[in-house]
Structure 1
Amino acid sequence: MKIAVLGLGYVGMTAAACLASRGHDITGIDPNESKVNDVNRGISPISEPGLADLVEEATRQGLLRASTTIASLADDTELAIVCVGTPSAADGSHNMSFIADVSRQLAHFISSNDRPVTVAFRSTVKPGTVEGFILPIFEEILRDRSDLVELVYNPEFLRESSAIKDFFSPPKIVVGTSDGLRSAVMDRMNEGIDAPTFYTRFGESEVTKLVDNSFHAVKTAFANEIGRVCEKLGVSAAKVHEIFIADTKLNISPYYLRPGGAFGGSCLPKDVRALQYISREVGGHTHLLDSLLPSNESHKAFLFELATRDLRHGARVVLLGLAFKNATDDLRESPNIDLARMLITAGYHLSIFDPYVHPEALVGQNLGVLSNSPFVRDLLIDQDELSTTEWDLVIDTRSIASELRLTASSVVDINRLS
């Protein structure tokens, strides 16, 4: 394909050179004349392992050239990849001036050539940018010929110093389109690259890069906080890390990462508090750890608001699941008890169904929880009452509502946030 790459920074230059190495005809566009001159002489303007050789070979074969203007693009350009900067302001907002300028130029280019072009944005933007900011620019200029442009959001997952390896072997490929369906042009661009591919709508594709990088930051901050505590305790942080990452069943895994219910039970809250106490005692200053329990409390309030946002006062509500986890009667720090208490306080007529919780059989700390929440005894119902009652709302903490064939105006599964 004939491909334009707009913005010859780390992302754009890597994309240009790697795509040229696969036989595509690439024109790089950048307002910086020094960068453009370097590329045209076969010199990479960016220092990245292996990139210099790719640039030199691509320009030698005539597959890579650069220019300062979009006017230099070939009329039959099929794909334009936008990699211009979106600098962050102090408040975290993006400077969108470069995106706006490039979008206008591309729209005029498409209008003058009257040929369809796929425009793939790789610049980091907030969700809603393609539909709410970029698309209107193209529509204003192209007017009744807006069908000539296919807008795509295609985030990159390149790490500096291993960008070429990451380009050819990415952890995933994410392509956002207006309808979430495939793009033939993007399929051709990614042909031969073996990676999980996700086609989705713009919003999900726009936010995924922010989510990934924020989680990387969380992991780094968490590791460093643990390192500080270990150092203060005279414990080997390296050995703790070795043991931690050896567990790929739970620690390094998809578990605990799906948005859904709040955490609870006998282990997580207790152990977080214990580590917080130890950190305070030794001066670890673990701000991330200190934020976990308040964040969990905020999530409980969020789930209550999510479940009841369209519910009339006094409605009949049934809560499926009271213990913190299915197939157990463990009530210790169960977020479902907190949710039940909020529902009662808000004036709803609440019932609770949990076939594993039998008040007369509870012992130890679970009996203590029941003493502090005496309403539980009166609100627990059996399956016959559950199935014969017409409910205004079913709040499902177990993802079992569909199996029970209930009569309900609304069902909210809080373990699967859509």
Structure 2
Amino acid sequence: MKIGIFGLGYVGLTAAACLTKSGHEIVGFDVSEQKLATVMAGKSPISEPGLEELIATAVADGKLTCFSAIENRLADCDMAIVCVGTPSAPDGSHNMSYIAEVSRQIATAVDKDRSRPLTVVYRSTIRPGTLEELVYPIFRRVMGDKVGVIELVYNPEFLRESSAIKDYFSPPKIVIGTHDGKPNKNMDIVNEGLDAPVFYVGYREAEFTKFVDNTFHALKVAFANEVGRVCVRLGISATKVHEIFISDTKLNISPYYMRPGGAFGGSCLPKDVRALQYIAGDVGASAHVVDSLIRSNEAHKHFLFEMCVKDLAEGARVLMLGVSFKKDSDDLRESPNIDLARKFLQGGYKLSILDPFVEPKNLLGQNLGYSFQHLPDLGELLIDQQTAEATEFDLVVDTSARSKGLALKTKRKIDIGALA
């Protein structure tokens, strides 16, 4: 099939690359001319293992082209996939302006006399009811009685940064929301060959899936860290408690997100927890556990800082291994390591950061905006491996098992991925 993809961030670019590997032709759209130029040069504007190789092959084979304007480029497309951002608004709800604008642009660009329907698939995380109450009305207003040439689908993604390609081809599940909950031919073609349980449901069930998943993942991280803090205060080995807990796969379900360690962060969990808080309050359904997650996470960030600086003299030299929210990624959005770095600076410590995946000049969009707003001196703090190994530090803080293979000189080392 020929597929248009709107928004070439982590989700959109990964989908584009993987779909070309599956034999589809992709037309990508994004507002960033810099990002488009990078992709069309066969390179990846983001750090994701294996992604650049797929992009280079797709561009060289003519299976991936990118543009900033739609014009008539949807005329021979079978599908359009929307992967634009839905960042948090000040009240915690999702900012839906990008979704609304892209929907309007697609509706305007579609040939109203198409001989076959255009399947418009939304992968961005959106509030339940968005397709019915926001997206479809936009298409109907623009297209009038020709709106029937569009078939709307909601298909949430379950990609983890730094393992996105593997997750794309081996997803935990496939959830497809349609207006009647019945299968969609084009979606079956796109997902052909993927081995995962498939759920065809209504729009709202599909839209709510990511909220349930991401909020539960956030809950698991916060719960484990609360247990870990109690263990540290009582002189109990959090590592041993964790080992016992995850051995019970019958009742405790899964070990993922359950190890006491770093705070949760990134572009999904904090944003979607805040949005679910907003939704619960908006519909009058109190959700006190959800309400406590962000507060618990902030408390854990401060706890980690206190653990790091215990008995550490003011002005001590500190090296952080990793500032992105996850190893093998350059995503700084809501990274708890950004907050930890800021606390070290505010505490008067001499901070250096070693993170080979983060290059300030390559940061774009929300990633660039977040890092500049919360850690404007990032470029001056970053050092290379040679400098790190030649310097003696009072404290090395490993944010997520990033010290392997490094020969560092330090008086003390803390792995905040394990509280004990």
What TM-score results when the alignment is normalised by the length of structure 1? 0.60
The aligned runs of 1:250-265 (5 Å cut-off) are: 250-252=251-253
Q: Distance in 1 between matches of 2:35 and 2:290?
A: 45
**Could you report, residue by residue, the CA deviation over 1:135-162 in whole angstroms, capped at 9, with x for unpaired residues?**
0011112211111000000000111111
Against the structure 1 CA distance between its residues 289 and 73, is the aligned structure 2 distance closer, same or farther, given a 3 Å change threshold? closer
Against the structure 1 CA distance between its residues 289 and 169, is the aligned structure 2 distance closer, same or farther, given a 3 Å change threshold? closer
Aligned equivalent of 1:104: 104
Against the structure 1 CA distance between its residues 246 and 290, is the aligned structure 2 distance closer, same or farther, given a 3 Å change threshold? farther
Q: Distance in 1 between matches of 2:235 and 2:74?
A: 64
The aligned runs of 1:229-248 (5 Å cut-off) are: 229-248=230-249
**What code does the residue aligned with 2:3 have?**
I
Aligned equivalent of 1:192: 193
1:188 positional shift: 0.3
1:288 positional shift: 6.1
Aligned equivalent of 2:386: none
Aligned equivalent of 1:22: 22
Output the aligned Cα RMSD.
Answer: 1.9
**Could you report, residue by residue, the CA deviation over 1:224-252 in whole angstroms, capped at 9, with x for unpaired residues?**
00001111111111111111111111111
Moved over 4 A (4+): 287-292
The aligned runs of 1:50-89 (5 Å cut-off) are: 50-71=50-71, 73-89=73-89
Q: Distance in 1 between matches of 2:110 and 2:185?
A: 19
Indicate the SS of the match to 1:81. Answer: strand
**Could you report, residue by residue, the CA deviation over 1:310-365 in whole angstroms, capped at 9, with x for unpaired residues?**
xxxxxxxxxxxxxxxxxxxxxxxxxxxxxxxxxxxxxxxxxxxxxxxxxxxxxxxx
1:289 positional shift: 12
Indicate the SS of the match to 1:200. Answer: strand
Against the structure 1 CA distance between its residues 21 and 121, is the aligned structure 2 distance closer, same or farther, given a 3 Å change threshold? same
Determine if contact 1:25/1:64 at 8 Å carries over to the other structure: yes
**What code does the residue aligned with 1:147 have?**
G
Gaps of 5+ in 2: 255-287, 294-420
Aligned equivalent of 1:121: 122
1:114 positional shift: 2.5
Against the structure 1 CA distance between its residues 183 and 30, is the aligned structure 2 distance closer, same or farther, given a 3 Å change threshold? same
**Could you report, residue by residue, the CA deviation over 1:185-220 in whole angstroms, capped at 9, with x for unpaired residues?**
000000000011100000010011011000001000
Q: Distance in 2 between matches of 1:290 and 1:120?
A: 31
Identity value in percent: 60
Q: Distance in 2 between matches of 1:16 and 1:66?
A: 10
Determine if contact 2:74/2:110 at 8 Å carries over to the other structure: no
Q: Distance in 2 between matches of 1:64 and 1:33?
A: 16
Determine if contact 1:49/1:162 at 8 Å carries over to the other structure: yes
Gaps of 5+ in 1: 254-286, 293-418
Determine if contact 1:222/1:288 at 8 Å carries over to the other structure: no
Q: Which has the larger radius of gyration?
A: 1
Q: Are residue 140 (structure 1) and residue 166 (structure 2) matched? A: no
**What code does the residue aligned with 2:205 have?**
E
1:100 positional shift: 1.1
Figure out how many residues of one structure are paired with residues of the other and give that number. Answer: 259
1:291 positional shift: 7.4
Aligned equivalent of 2:95: 95
Against the structure 1 CA distance between its residues 34 and 197, is the aligned structure 2 distance closer, same or farther, given a 3 Å change threshold? same
Q: Are residue 11 (structure 1) and residue 11 (structure 2) matched? A: yes
Aligned equivalent of 1:203: 204
Aligned equivalent of 1:212: 213
Q: Distance in 1 between matches of 2:138 and 2:291?
A: 45
Q: Distance in 2 between matches of 1:233 and 1:147?
A: 64
**What code does the residue aligned with 1:216 have?**
H
Indicate the SS of the match to 1:199. Answer: strand
Against the structure 1 CA distance between its residues 105 and 288, is the aligned structure 2 distance closer, same or farther, given a 3 Å change threshold? closer
